[in-house]
Amino acid sequence: MKIAVIGANGQLGSDLVAAFSEAGDEVRALTHSEIEIADFHSISSVLEVIQPQVIVNTAALHNVEHCEREPAKAFAVNALGAKNLALVARDLRAVLAHVSTDYVFDGSKGNPYVEEDNPRPLNAYGITKLAGEHFIRSTTDRHFVIRTSGLYGKSPCRAKGGLNFIELMLKLAKERDELRVVDSEVITPTSTAELAQQIVRLSHSDCYGLYHATAEGSCSWYEFAQEIFALTGTSVRLNVAAPDEFPAKVARPKYSVLENRALKTQGLNLFRPWQGGLYEYLGQRIKSASHPVCN
């Protein structure tokens, strides 16, 4: 199939390009310099030339604090951008696979959210992403709206800048004797390499709809750090941060664990427990350190 990946040099986008290529698909990798999803004409002119069968969108304004400061900009990209993509996908008779977020929920449920649960976002990021979901679901039937959580991958997250959580913990552990990490936010760390395989699997099906797509299980950021240090044999004193030690500037759900119910019902769920993805990431990291790529 011919696949257009938008946000192709991002954390998830780069793994999607690799995963679709490995699956034998013809991939057109589109970066922000080539396409602007907030601009309908940019999308239609680029995609009309490519004529993809599947459009995969990872692009978003998803730095939570940035969205809160500039909600109109966040709406233009996350909501109207999604609408633009849905309109163009419908015109081109293409399938749209769009990545959304666990932040559409407020976290009060306290056990894993399924696709049928009522969203209630707490911040501008979640509100604009949810609006994007609605625009897509009401514009084209041939969609996959894929909510995920806690992404990490070998390419850095461009919106958040710098290191992913794993790399940050390993760097800080080298620099300090003691680390303090919050225990009050529960998520599911999800490897972009695994999510990319899941999106390829969905895109090769016609089981359109709304999907939760994260690794299995859950942990707090503190427990995630614990596992990173255990698997890498890193010795550092790790403690739970005091509740007011790192005050959040923007309201976030305290519990945003997703259950992949729709994937399981369709027999399409590829995810394993989150520790497996972490183990593989750390293994790849060791391999690339011992075989550095020469430029």
Ligand X SMILES: NC(=O)c1ccc[n+]([C@@H]2O[C@H](COP(=O)([O-])OP(=O)(O)OC[C@H]3O[C@@H](n4cnc5c(N)ncnc54)[C@H](OP(=O)(O)O)[C@@H]3O)[C@@H](O)[C@H]2O)c1
Contact criterion met (CB below 8 Å) for 57 and 7: yes
Q: Which of 2, 18, 23, 32 binds ligand X (CB under 6 A)?
A: 32
Q: Is 99 in the site for ligand X (CB under 6 A)?
A: yes
Q: Is 13 in the site for ligand X (CB under 6 A)?
A: yes
Q: Which of 123, 128, 140, 149 binds ligand X (CB under 6 A)?
A: 149
Sign of the dihedral through C-alpha 93, 135, 11, 107 = negative
Contact criterion met (CB below 8 Å) for 223 and 278: no
Q: Is 148 in the site for ligand X (CB under 6 A)?
A: yes
- Measure the CA–CA gap between 11 and 21, rounded to whole angstroms: 16
Residues 156-185: x/- map of binding to ligand X (CB under 6 A)?
Answer: -xxx--------------------------
Task: Give min distance, CB of 155 to ligand X, in A.
Answer: 7
Contact criterion met (CB below 8 Å) for 91 and 138: no
Is 125 assigned a catalytic role?
yes
Q: Of the listed pieces 18-26, 30-38, 89-97, 275-283, which binds ligand X according to CB under 6 A?
A: 30-38
Question: Distance of CA 78 to CAs 66, 213, 284, Å?
Answer: 13, 19, 32
Nearest to 142 by CA among 67, 87, 221, 99: 87
Q: Is 197 in the site for ligand X (CB under 6 A)?
A: no
- Measure the CA–CA gap between 222 and 209, rounded to whole angstroms: 34
CA atoms within 13 A on the CB side of 43: 27
Residues 40-79 that bind ligand X (CB under 6 A): 58-62, 77
Find the residue with minimal CB distance to ligand X: 10
Q: Is 189 in the site for ligand X (CB under 6 A)?
A: no
Q: Of the listed pieces 44-52, 109-117, 151-159, 166-174, which binds ligand X according to CB under 6 A?
A: 151-159
Q: Which of 151, 166, 193, 215 binds ligand X (CB under 6 A)?
A: 151
Nearest to 285 by CA among 154, 152, 151, 150: 154
Task: Give min distance, CB of 97 to ligand X, in A.
Answer: 11
By annotation, the residues acting in catalysis are: 125
